[in-house]
Amino acid sequence: MSSHNDQQDIWPEQPPSRKEMSRRQFLTYTLGGATAFMGAGTILPMVRFVVDPILHKKGAGDFIKVAEISKITEEPQEFTFELKQKDGWYDSTATLTAWIRKDAKGDIYALSPICKHLGCTVGWNNNKAHPDEYHCPCHGARYTKLGKNLEVAPKPLDQYKTKFDNGWVLLGDIVPNTVASEEA
Amino acid sequence: MFKNIYNWIDERLDVTPIWRDVADHEVPEHVNPAHHFSAFVYCFGGLTFFITVIQILSGMFLTMYYVPDIINAYASVEYLQSSVAFGQIVRGMHHWGASLVIVMMFLHTMRVFFTGSYKAPREMNWVVGMLIFFVMLGLGLTGYLLPWDNKAYFATKVTLEIANSVPVMGPVLKELMQGGTIVGAETLTRFFALHVFFLPAVLLSLLVGHFIMIRRQGISGPL
Amino acid sequence: MAHGNNSKEKVVYVGDTRVRKGNGFITPPDYSAYPGKSEAFIPNFLLKEWMVGVVVLVGILVLTISEPAPLGFPANASATVIPIPDWYFLFLYQYLKLPYASGDYIVLGTLGVTGVAFGALLLAPFLDTGRERRFYRRPIASSLMFLSLAAIVYLTNTAWTEYKHEMAETGQIPEDVQREEKAAENRAKGLPTSSAVKAKEVAIIDKDDPAMGLFKQATCISCHAADLKGAGGPSLRGVGDTHDKEAILTIIKEGQGQMPKMYDTALGAGLSDQDIDALADWLAKQKSEQ
């Protein structure tokens, strides 16, 4: 109701008889109410329409079965999996790759092979000059087993969120690396 | 607070006379339905404007989802109508509103015609009003193609054939409108540009002229 | 012009309701001073207009909720659809079918009669210059308008009747109705309800070929991605459409554009010449259509 009050504020003092003022005021309030109703009736559906994306439940819980836990070794292995993406009216399938290994304690983690330098795809042990390292053929960026950046790249390799279920490794969203800092 | 801000602006721009002129001008008895019920015929102009406002707003919101492209146009319209909350209502407002604007404008034009309100000194306002009518028809025509379904596609083909039949200019006109030799991707982007930028710009300028002239010349007197 | 040729003639405003010019704001005459004669635009008169506006708005909302805006199937140049314009163009649509407005006389139809009618409407004030405003005292203008209205109603009605008749005769159902029924059917079955045309993806040919492994081993996937869709480099799906085996081998050996020479890299990754040959062979088979 504030809008009517504003309107009243800026109305200069008018001295006519009290009866006339109150009639005018009543009409003004009614007009304000009608205007507010029309504005709301028009705008609210459109606002709801346009904020729809933020009211959708995010696919945060989307984990995809990628590999059997029994097959994971201390040597990183490459696994590819498909992620169905729904982007409005556009459905697509993104093929993602993860390098999965378990460390000495048996903790399993999965690294994203997207080079943190310029977004090429890194590979494990694919350069004879640098054994047992992730190497990016584009500009020679190198990473350790844990994804720690050794050369060229500014940041360690990203990780997938992992979950374990019924003997399977499930991978979720890509998050910044948390294991690389453990390396002395 | 608001009063102070208003006063500050008013001191510099002297805006009070402008809106007081709009707000306080006296409306004569013969257009007031409280005195003569038949005066309701004077409401159609205002309703046309109200629905035009709805059209502009809903159109702006629709472009948040719509893509003017032959592959995605249909998919995006279908998506916004069936998958987005209130999409059916917003697209419905724009679709049915388009028809309603024509109805209201038609009734308004008939009122002006039969009350002889287009006569001196209001000739220019009639001409501007008719131009608004033509622009609205143009908006209807260009908007019809945008969902890119079969009905839209074939109706547009017919329209362009009609343009083609104009002597001398026809073939050039047709190719200019369809942006190539077939009704396709380039026709759609052209119609989209006309529908959301060119024609609305023309419409708004004409509306401003229409309203200024109404205020300058007042409502035509009683019969 | 409407005022005759004397430009000095004073323009008479009929029923002048303008606010008089003055110094600053003039308090408009209180509407109560002229009981029943006139009233202020805001709030009195606008409120009446808004009352009608509220009714109209509720009407629109009810309509949008009960009747979704129609949408047919995606445009397809080979579909058989009776092209029907929006209802307010129906009279023109029907008019252009008339014998003297089509065929040899199409120019008369599109420009002649239509042009004259709309032109006359546009210039009505300059054609009907009399001072009389009541329609029953303006027989020519009024009867022309009544005649046009009758023609519009008649043509619109004929167009719609003929359209309905043609639909019934050819057994067609309007596409928007078909689409809605199809969508409702699919929804009941839990299938996707969309009628949109999905872009077809080019598939990888011979996925099980050992060359797929070589592709990975030779580090091609760094830029062309494991699914061949491309990342830093271009997509290789359907690459066989534009490149034969020789061309592919040349690109591997000599590079192209941004791509460096990859031959030695491949050898360094443990591929043999034969492997590279097999790889190029496999890539050349990647055609978008079988």
DSSP A161: E
Backbone angles phi, psi at B129, to 5 degrees: -60, -40
> Which residues in chain A touch residue C207, judged by CB atoms under 8 angstroms apart?
none
Q: Does the beta-carbon distance from B92 to C79 stay under 8 Å?
A: no
Q: What is the mean pLDDT of residues C230-244?
A: 81
Per-residue model confidence (pLDDT) at position C9: 53
Q: How far apart are CA B188 and CA C285, in angstroms?
A: 37
Each residue of A131-161: pLDDT tens digit? Answer: 788 888 778 788 888 888 887 788 888 888 8
Give residue for tokens 């008339």.
Answer: C98
Nearest CA in chain A to B72: A89
Shortest alpha-carbon distance between residue B87 and chain A (Å): 6
A97: part of which helix (H) or strand (E)? strand A90-102
Is residue C148 within 8 Å of residue C119, measured between CB atoms? no
Sorted by sequence, the CB contacts under 8 Å of residue C104 that are 6+ apart come out as none
Q: Does C47 touch chain A (CB under 8 A)?
A: yes
Give the max Cα distance, chain A: 99
Give whole-number Cα distances, A160 to A26, A108, B56, B145, C81, in Å. Answer: 64, 11, 45, 45, 51
For chain B, strand residue ranges (E) read 26-28
Q: Does C231 touch chain A (CB under 8 A)?
A: yes
Q: Does A10 touch chain B (CB under 8 A)?
A: yes
Q: Does the beta-carbon distance from B90 to A46 stay under 8 Å?
A: yes
Same-domain status, C180 and C217: no
Each residue of B74-111: pLDDT tens digit? Answer: 999 999 998 899 999 999 999 999 999 999 999 999 99
- The answer to whether residue C217 sits within a structural domain is yes
Q: How far apart are CA B27 and CA B46, in angstroms?
A: 14
Same-domain status, C218 and C272: yes
Shortest alpha-carbon distance between residue C57 and chain A (Å): 7
Handedness of CA A31, A32, A34, A39 (dihedral sign): positive
Q: Does A45 touch chain B (CB under 8 A)?
A: yes
Sorted by sequence, the CB contacts under 8 Å of residue C33 that are 6+ apart come out as none
For an interface test with A, the pick among C219, C220, C258, C259 (most A C-beta atoms closer than 10 Å) comes out as C219
pTM of the complete model:
0.78
For an interface test with B, the pick among A38, A50, A91 (most B C-beta atoms closer than 10 Å) comes out as A50
* Amino acid of residue C21: K
Same-domain status, C181 and C215: no
* Amino acid of residue C235: S
* Amino acid of residue A38: M
Of A132, A112, A125, nearest to C269 (Cα)?
Answer: A125
Task: Report helix, strand or coil for A64.
Answer: strand
Q: Does A88 touch chain B (CB under 8 A)?
A: yes
> Which residues in chain A touch residue C51, judged by CB atoms under 8 angstroms apart?
34
Does B118 score more than 50 pLDDT?
yes
* Residue span of the structural domain in which C42 resides: 38-66
Q: Does the beta-carbon distance from A138 to C232 stay under 8 Å?
A: yes
Give residue for tokens 């000194």.
Answer: B121
Same-domain status, C163 and C232: no
> Which residues in chain C touch residue A41, judged by CB atoms under 8 angstroms apart?
57-58, 61
For an interface test with B, the pick among A5, A43, A49, A86 (most B C-beta atoms closer than 10 Å) comes out as A49
Per-residue model confidence (pLDDT) at position A5: 46
> Which residues in chain C touch residue B221, judged by CB atoms under 8 angstroms apart?
14-16
- Number of DSSP helices (H) and strands (E) in chain B, helices first: 10, 1
Please state the domain extents for chain B. Answer: 2-217
- The answer to whether residue C146 sits within a structural domain is yes
Q: How many domains does chain C have?
A: 3
- The answer to whether residue C200 sits within a structural domain is no
Q: How large is the ipTM?
A: 0.92
pLDDT over 70, % of chain C: 86
Counting every residue written for chain B, the total comes to: 223
Query: Given strand A134-135, what is the order of strands in its sheet?
Result: A123-124, A134-135, A142-143, A149-151
List, for chain A, all residue ranges whose pLDDT scores fall below the cut of 50. 1-9, 184
- The answer to whether residue C264 sits within a structural domain is yes
> Residue C139: which CATH number?
1.10.287
Q: How far apart are CA C212 and CA C227, in angstroms?
A: 10
Q: How far apart are CA A158 and CA A150, in angstroms?
A: 14
Nearest Cβ partner of A48 from B6, B83, B85? B85
Does C289 score more than 80 pLDDT?
no
> Residue C226: which CATH number?
1.10.760.10
> Between B161 and C39, whose confidence is greater?
B161
CATH topology (fold) of B2-217: Cytochrome Bc1 Complex; Chain C (1.20.810)
Q: Does the beta-carbon distance from A49 to B85 stay under 8 Å?
A: yes
Is residue C226 within 8 Å of residue A80, measured between CB atoms? yes
Same-domain status, C104 and C184: yes
Q: How far apart are CA B117 and CA C14, in angstroms?
A: 9
Q: Count the neighbouring beta carbons within 10 Å of the beta carbon of residue C66.
A: 8
pLDDT over 70, % of chain B: 100
Is residue B16 within 8 Å of residue B10, measured between CB atoms? yes
Is residue A157 within 8 Å of residue A122, measured between CB atoms? yes
Nearest CA in chain B to C25: B17
- The answer to whether residue C15 sits within a structural domain is no
Is residue B130 within 8 Å of residue C75, measured between CB atoms? no
